[in-house]
């Protein structure tokens, strides 16, 4: 019984690792397609003071540019 549980546990952990790798891969591809999407920046005023919370213009969403089946 313990061997069966251990085997099931190992296969579940392996599936979780594969899902995480796939998730990281997909989001890195999306970030590469639209690197400026929803990014916050800190602008510098002429006086040298930071002006926080400046948002870049949104690019076309990566989800809209993905190939449709």
- pLDDT of the chain, 69 residues: tens digit per residue: 566 677 788 888 888 888 888 887 877 776 666 655 555 555 666 677 776 665 555 555 556 666 666
Domain ranges for the chain: 1-33, 36-69
Residue 55, strand partner residues = 40
| In the chain, alpha helices (H) | 2-33, 62-65
Return the bridge partners of 50, or none.
Answer: 44
């Amino acid at each position: 019984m313990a061997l069966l549980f251990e085997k099931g546990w190992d296969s579940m952990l392996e599936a979780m690792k594969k899902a995480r790798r796939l998730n990281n891969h997909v989001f890195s591809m999306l970030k590469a397609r639209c690197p400026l999407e929803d990014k916050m920046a800190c602008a510098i005023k002429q006086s040298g003071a930071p002006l926080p919370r400046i948002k870049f213009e949104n690019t076309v969403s990566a989800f809209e540019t993905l190939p449709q089946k």
